[in-house]
Amino acid sequence: MHTADVVIIGGGIVGSSIAYHLTEAGCRNVLVLEREAHQGKGSTGKSMGGVRAQFTTPVNIQMSLYSIPFYAAFDERLGHPAGYKSQGYLFVATKPSHLEYLQTNQRRQKSLGLKDVRMVTKAEIVEMVPQLRSDDILGGSFCASDGFVDPYSAMTGFIKRAVDDGATIWKSAEVKGVVKKSRCVRGVATTRDEVHAPVVVNAAGPWAAEVASMARVELPVKPLRRMLIPTEPFDEVSHEIPMVIDMTNGFHFRPESRGFLLAWNDPEETPGYKFDFDPEFIEKVLIRAADRVPCFENLAVNPKRAWAGLYEMSPDHHGIIGEFEELPGFYAANGFSGHGVMHAPATGKIVADLITSGKTGVVEDVTVLSPTRFKAGKLLHETALL
């Protein structure tokens, strides 16, 4: 029987960030359990790596206001690169309602302290990305401190520093059960050994609901397939451009290596553990790509390099963070709905704060993210989803 002060189930970017923030706070007897032989095989290794503060709800904006400066200072702070590139996110509006929506969001973002966000004119957009078809563009929104990170590298930086500072990671150790006593959590049973711990954190990404069911608590997180298409090298568009989001249909793309990474949220996708890449997706995306960027007609794509991963969807598309009222000592850090990389620093800090002191200053009101909100009918509403 092993003992730990805190057990974290899942060694992706969220579990790794929690381990880092706990050791930073002086809680060093931390054990991360990862069932795979290598970290990053869950959603973290499949992510597009986008980071942005251009959200709708105060809590998501505040999570980004902690996380993005954290990523900007990551290399210096952790001695390991996060690969942060502040190339910005450019939302391109083609309807008056898009512009109104962006303006409303910006008022809220600015009131919460986001400085780099601004409305941009059609002329500015064309200057930033001259290859865009612009006949229907009305304007847009740009935030210079938004951008991209390398999720795998950031995850590695978090766990390395956590381990240097006293944490332990067991790989190839699958959690099979959550041990309870007197209605409190007491540890976990794993394929390697049993671990006694007064605090257990669920950071199991798209598998979070299964882990919660081991503790017999309800966690409404569903896996949803998301596919990405990297192109072959392409130099007709600059590699310094921001993430560009066509608000007409949600198609978005960003530079990646010598080519581009193309994404689109297929509304016909249904929940499930689907890991296969559907080759028909390529046509759906390339049509939208060439429609907005005519020279993308010349893009070459190798289907073998495209991939699928899982978003971990919560009913209101916000993270679920906090201790379960019905099971003291059991914490959720789940349900990020496609924002888990960009919000991993804030999540790590919040969970560490809650465990060590019961409160946090990262967001104004952390209770809005609590796992109890679903039963209480207090759902949030985020519409800036990609």
Ligand X SMILES: Cc1cc2nc3c(=O)[nH]c(=O)nc-3n(C[C@H](O)[C@H](O)[C@H](O)COP(=O)(O)OP(=O)(O)OC[C@H]3O[C@@H](n4cnc5c(N)ncnc54)[C@H](O)[C@@H]3O)c2cc1C
Q: Where do contacts with ligand X occur on this chain (CB under 6 A)? A: 9-15, 33-36, 41-44, 46-50, 174-175, 203-207, 211, 226, 228, 309-312, 336, 338-342
- Cβ neighbours for 274, distance < 8 A, ≥ 6 positions apart: 223, 225, 308, 310
Residue 96 beta carbon to ligand X: minimum distance, rounded to whole angstroms: 28
Residue 328 beta carbon to ligand X: minimum distance, rounded to whole angstroms: 21
The smaller minimum CB distance to ligand X, of residues 128 and 229, is found at 229
Residue 9 beta carbon to ligand X: minimum distance, rounded to whole angstroms: 5
User: Pick from 311, 337, 331, 320: which is nearest to 376 by CA?
Assistant: 320
Quick one: how many helices (H) and strands (E) in the chain? Answer: 9, 20
The smaller minimum CB distance to ligand X, of residues 125 and 173, is found at 173
Residue 128 beta carbon to ligand X: minimum distance, rounded to whole angstroms: 20
The smaller minimum CB distance to ligand X, of residues 135 and 280, is found at 280
Integer CA distances (angstroms), 343 to 35, 125, 347, 371, in order: 23, 27, 6, 17
Copy the structure tokens of residue 314.
Answer: 């919560």
Residue 261 beta carbon to ligand X: minimum distance, rounded to whole angstroms: 9
Copy the structure tokens of residue 63.
Answer: 């999570």
CA end-to-end span of the chain: 44
From CA 324, how far away is CA 238, in angstroms rounded?
Answer: 48
Residue 173 beta carbon to ligand X: minimum distance, rounded to whole angstroms: 7
The smaller minimum CB distance to ligand X, of residues 92 and 342, is found at 342
User: Pick from 226, 250, 383: which is nearest to 318 by CA?
Assistant: 383
From CA 384, how far away is CA 144, in angstroms rounded?
Answer: 17
The smaller minimum CB distance to ligand X, of residues 137 and 245, is found at 245
Identify the helix (H) or strand (E) that includes residue 290: helix 280-292
The smaller minimum CB distance to ligand X, of residues 2 and 133, is found at 2
